Chain A
């Protein structure tokens, strides 16, 4: 049972590996999850109806910007911001570099052959992630406001299933944003000597706080992604009278 092989370096052709575990499951599930979200959110943005019901407003349409001069769905006026935030997020970059760009699809599995330039040429815009963070922080406030509004029904304050769903949406999005690597840098990561810098101790505490969320950034990324789609779907179905919003209180 001998076989002549060569382990020349660089040695592996595309996708070649001697791993025997199911290394392709991760990238496959990631692609399915990301594609499902992209298809659903694009479809929902094109609908231009059923995004509101009672005190509920779909997060794809929040803040609601309706202008005479804008012929398309108002969703397109705002969706570029969360889309850009997630697209340039360090976690999502890992996810789609692995599952769509295949550079590499998994560790010790041959990467897609190319003149590799990493994030230096075409992808250098990824360095602007911090600007999307600034906008995302504003969105956290807007969606929290919408979540509070979702408790005020025509006949007074109340709690519907939709209010809970919208509140969780704001919570998940905030938890995702609080773990952002650019935020971690901004609040304290860029300090070398906390005991010498002004407000050094506070910045160290802030850095530690952001780090708590940063450790699970991929978890919050998926939960918040799923939930924002689910929130839109729920409000859509209620507004289409396919399901009825249950009033808890």
Chain B
């Protein structure tokens, strides 16, 4: 049976050490299995979050050899076992214990997003949407809230910009802004409250997303284009002013 070495960060409140543990490698094993083996054989009090073991609950986010990943979706056979495998907690959030971090800021940002505000129902009491209307936003609904994208985004991770909502929430807003039924104009708050302009489209969020959501290309860049059209486009500004009979225009299309 093959054996691998693991180096696991242990400690509380950001201070800690790397502890080395042997792991017995079996076929089909994932990193989360290895961490649980360490927990059961060598370190019963190792703090680690996990739940579904299927890449769907978003609990087991960590940094494996320096890369933000879901531990349950990282197979051992894709790692080089010649050197110890390094397991650290996510670096973008305040540390709690061992591999567990405090991700509560994300829920605070989420509360600031105005919920879907649909237009009135049709006369028969229903809503009708065509597939082509909702195809784009279905991709964003795949998000499992693992927060790996929030963790890797340099605006949060390295520059600690408080006014920046982060990629997960920008695609949540995108899913509302592009929703065929939504009536709110969300562009001003995107610019001023959620800090869209801080994103420099370097695409690390897209690189780490375990759901392969094209966060930057399909979510953030289209939002940037909408904000550019509303606030930074001189001809559009001129046109809006020349043709303004704003009372007739529904808020969404202003």
The reply to whether B228 and A19 contact each other, CB–CB distance below 8 Å, is no
The reply to whether B198 and A120 contact each other, CB–CB distance below 8 Å, is yes
Does B68 make an interface contact (CB < 8 A)?
yes
**What separation, in Å, do the CA atoms of A181 and B178 have in the docked complex?**
16
5 contacts between A and B (CB under 8 A): A97-B201, A108-B66, A116-B198, A118-B161, A127-B224
Q: Mark B230-248, 1 if CB is under 8 A from A, else 0.
A: 0111000000000000000
The reply to whether B91 and A9 contact each other, CB–CB distance below 8 Å, is yes
Q: Which 4 A-B pairs have the closest CB atoms?
A: A19-B66, A18-B66, A185-B225, A127-B232
Q: A8-B14, A108-B63, A111-B158 are in contact. Are A195 and B204 (CB under 8 A)?
A: no
**What separation, in Å, do the CA atoms of A128 and B201 have in the docked complex?**
16
The total of chain B residues at the interface (CB under 8 A) is 66
CB neighbours (8 Å) of B201 from chain A are 90, 93-94, 97
CB neighbours (8 Å) of B24 from chain A are none
**What separation, in Å, do the CA atoms of A215 and B206 have in the docked complex?**
13
The reply to whether B222 and A195 contact each other, CB–CB distance below 8 Å, is no
CB neighbours (8 Å) of B231 from chain A are 127
The reply to whether A5 and B17 contact each other, CB–CB distance below 8 Å, is yes
The reply to whether A7 and B95 contact each other, CB–CB distance below 8 Å, is yes
Does A204 make an interface contact (CB < 8 A)?
yes
**What separation, in Å, do the CA atoms of A129 and B49 have in the docked complex?**
44
CB neighbours (8 Å) of B204 from chain A are 104, 107-108
Does A247 make an interface contact (CB < 8 A)?
no
Among B20, B152, B161, B224, which residue has its beta carbon within 8 angstroms of that of A108? B152
**What separation, in Å, do the CA atoms of A201 and B80 have in the docked complex?**
50
The reply to whether A104 and B65 contact each other, CB–CB distance below 8 Å, is no
Among A3, A7, A19, A20, which residue has its beta carbon within 8 angstroms of that of B89? A7
Instruction: Give the distance to chain B from A2, nearest Cβ to Cβ, in Å.
Output: 5
Instruction: Give the distance to chain B from A50, nearest Cβ to Cβ, in Å.
Output: 38
**What separation, in Å, do the CA atoms of A46 and B166 have in the docked complex?**
44
CB neighbours (8 Å) of B203 from chain A are 94
The reply to whether A107 and B207 contact each other, CB–CB distance below 8 Å, is yes
Q: A111-B158, A192-B177 are in contact. Are A181 and B217 (CB under 8 A)?
A: yes
**What separation, in Å, do the CA atoms of A1 and B180 have in the docked complex?**
58
Does B42 make an interface contact (CB < 8 A)?
no
The reply to whether A184 and B88 contact each other, CB–CB distance below 8 Å, is no
Does B52 make an interface contact (CB < 8 A)?
no
Q: A104-B154, A181-B225 are in contact. Are A119 and B200 (CB under 8 A)?
A: yes
**What separation, in Å, do the CA atoms of A196 and B157 have in the docked complex?**
41
